[in-house]
Structure 1
Amino acid sequence: MVIKGCMFDFSGTLMRIEPAGRWLDAVLTAAGHDVPARQAARYAERLERAGALPGGAHPSAVPEALREVWRERDRSAEQHRAAFTGMARQAELPWDVYDALYDRHMTPEAWTPYPDAAEVLKELRGRGTAVAVVSNIGWDLRPVFRAHGLDAFVDAYVLSYEHGVQKPDPRLFTIACEALGLPTAQVAMVGDDRRADTGAAALGCPVHLVDHLPAADRPDGLRKILDLL
């Protein structure tokens, strides 16, 4: 079967979130807090252990009171914010910046495209391969793609919170294939999450996994897809 379309995950696949230290520093600076570097680094480490940064490290543990909202966090904008601000509060910061931290991660400045993302998406557009971004997320990432010059290469965005369905549920991938106007067997899925993104395989979609690494450490992880397709 000829592949005529490609679905891409967002976080950890096409773009990478900023490190927790930079994330916290940006928020503290904007709030006018002058915090010694060592103290800020200590609290950034707490946030990272708590899994408070969307797209960052997984939590070391999920408190009982947050387990349900955490499990279904990508089904709505409200659940997503509640889950991540709840996890951030586990770090017990001395400043009330939990909502500001959440707001920061939705800005284009908080995200870096992988080095080969633009090249690969442009090449797929040149080949006539339809592209969809399929993401478990609680907010509209389209402005991030526009700010980084990638929106022109994307034909459809299928975001979990807009449909009330999160990966690995095959329904989200079905919606994406329908948006591209292609049968599922003709659409590949590219992602970094072995559990969530391989849900597309249930529909007969070929799946290719990339490593969830900092952008500088994965310069050509996406480029290999061009040969596979």
Structure 2
Amino acid sequence: MSQDNYYGVAFNRERLIHIVDPDPATCEALSVLFRLEGFQTTFSIDAAQFMLGFERRSPDVAVINLRLGEDSGLSLLRRVKAMRTGTPVFMLADYPQLEAAVTAMKMGASSVIGKPIDTEHLLSDIREALRRDVHLNAMQGGRRAVEVRGFSQLTPREREVLQLISNGQSNKEAGRLLGISPRTVEVHRARVMEKLGARNTADLMRIVLTS
């Protein structure tokens, strides 16, 4: 183990990640993943179980599914944010849910991760959130101003597409409003993501909301 990895694991060892997903297999798989990185983990399969655990110990990171049986993961996200503990929250999406993803980002989610989960991306985002927590804890909201290069490169049409995507419009809805085909919207959207350096829709939402 390199010195950097050693200190990273030592840093993680004091950190608790609480996973909330109605699928026990997902909870178990993520628990193994995080423990291999040195984190402490616990998991819940519903919101009530999570809140009981949260009252005992506030986690350093929460990973919450957008769907929790009859409950909404967004409702749980709202409750966590209302507690003002500063806990970074990552949302999981069982299938593409653009509108819910946009809402989650506006409510303060650190990211929305689709299934199948890109574990390296998730781990990278969690490490970054914890680094911000350490260095920026005294700053209001724990957020740092982000300078985004690429907006100046967008064409007027790409800006229109970005605005509609940010408002939660689907490709079909955006195409109808702009008088172009959904396929053309998809092409513009891909160019916007490339110019802004976004890896996925959640990345794009984070760039828009923090710029």
What interval of TM-score do these two structures reach, taking the shorter chain for normalisation?
Answer: 0.3 to 0.5
Q: TM-score, normalised by structure 1?
A: 0.30
Higher helix proportion: 2
Give me the TM-score of the superposition, normalised by structure 2.
0.32
